[in-house]
Amino acid sequence: MDYKRILTIQDISCVGQCSLTVALPILSACGHETCILPSAVLSTHTAGFSGFTFRDLTDDIPSIQAHWQKEGISFDGIYTGYLGSTKQVGYVKNILDTMGVDGAVKVVDPAFADNGKLYPIFDTVYVEAMKTLCPSADILLPNITEACFLAGVEYKEVYDENYIKELLDSLSKLGCSTIVLTGVGYQSEKTGVVVYESGKLSYYEHKRIAKGCHGTGDVYASAFTGALLKGKTIFEAAKIAADYTVLCIENTQGDPKHWYGVKFETALSELLGML
The pLDDT tens digits of the residues spanning 202-213 come to 999 988 876 667
CA angle 32, 74, 223 (to 5 degrees): 30
CATH code, 229: 3.40.1190.20
Residues in the chain, pLDDT under 70: 1, 210-212
Q: According to the model, what pLDDT value does residue 210 have? A: 67
CB 238 within 8 A of CB 204: yes
Task: Give the global pTM.
Answer: 0.95
Q: According to the model, what pLDDT value does residue 101 have? A: 97
Question: Which of helix, strand or coil describes residue 192?
Answer: strand
Q: According to the model, what pLDDT value does residue 119 have? A: 87
Q: According to the model, what pLDDT value does residue 111 have? A: 92
Distance CA 184, CA 141 (A): 13
Q: According to the model, what pLDDT value does residue 146 have? A: 97
Q: Is 94 exposed, middle or buried (0-12, 13-18, 19+ CB in 10 A)?
A: middle
Q: According to the model, what pLDDT value does residue 223 have? A: 98
Number of structural domains, the chain? 1
Phi, psi of 142 (to 5 degrees): -90, 160
* Residue 45, domain extent: 5-274
